[in-house]
Every structure is written in structure tokens, then in C-alpha cells.
Structure 1
Amino acid sequence: MMLLVSLASQILHGDHEVDCPECGYPVWIRLSEVIAQCTVTCSCCRLQLHLLDEGGKMQTLGDTLERQINRAVKGIFG
């Protein structure tokens, strides 16, 4: 069970690399930051990147992951 919870945590709270739209420098974000619609700063050009969860797509992804993990855990531990 802990392995599955860890997997969800890694996906939602792990760092993901995206390129800065201004300078192309890699910026690390978390899906949880997208869900919360945070603002992150490019460490190279200092551009403020406003993360948007348009239509709640990342929130839906988070909810879907949680449901699938709960189903898998329930199937394993019965």
C-alpha cells in the first residue's frame, strides 16, 4: 500500500521540468503547484510564470490518480 501512495505523491509533488517561455531555461514545477495555481519564477530571466489549471484538468488528474490508487489498494488488501 505504501508503494502506491508513494507513487501518487511522486507524481503530484515531484518536480517536473518545463522550459521557460521567455528564455528556454528549465524551470521545475510540481503538479500540485499547478492545481493550486501558484506563481513560479524562472531562475535565469526572473520571469514570473503564473500556473493555471485551466478547466481544473490537473485537479481532475489528481482526483483520478487518488481513485485509481484506492481501487488498487482495495483490490490488493481486499
Structure 2
Amino acid sequence: MKLSDEILKSLVSFPCPQCRYEVEIQLLDVRVQSYRYCPCCRSRIRLVDADGSMFGELEAIDLAMNELTQALKGMS
């Protein structure tokens, strides 16, 4: 299992654009650009990773973890 997969399962909160109520989502929801409804005002919120930065950063995390694993294996 990659670290990025675990990160995508993480829960984060953000304020609803309409009523400012704190909405909790998984980061995976942003990656797949899904829609969520605010539990307070029922506004439909589209979750967008506009510049695709999440995908690139998750790849960088996996690469860094692979490098760390290889370095630790080399120490033993």
C-alpha cells in the first residue's frame, strides 16, 4: 500500500462557500472531482483540483517514500 493511498483516505474540513458551515470530506473526493452537499444549507459543492496539483504532489510523496525505503535497506 502506498502512502498516497492512505493520504487520500484522510478527512479534511472546509467551509461551505454559501453558508460557511464546516463540511468534512475525504481527499479522494477532490481527486475524483465529485460533488458534495452541504449538510447545513444543502448547497451542491463541486470539489475541484483545478491545476491538478494534488496528483503531482501525491506522486512526489510516493517517490520520496520509495527513496527512503531504499536508503534504509542500504543501511542494513
TM range (shorter): 0.7 to 0.9
Report 1:1-78 matches (<5 A): 5=3, 9=6, 11-78=7-74
* Superposition RMSD in Å: 2.1
Larger radius of gyration: 2
After superposition, the C-alpha distances for 1:18-50 in whole angstroms (9 at most, x for unaligned) are 011111111112222111111111111111110
Identity %: 30
Question: TM (normalized to structure 1)?
Answer: 0.79
Moved over 6 A (4+): none
Unaligned segments of structure 1, at least 5 residues? none
Number of aligned residues: 74
Unaligned segments of structure 2, at least 5 residues? none
Question: TM (normalized to structure 2)?
Answer: 0.80
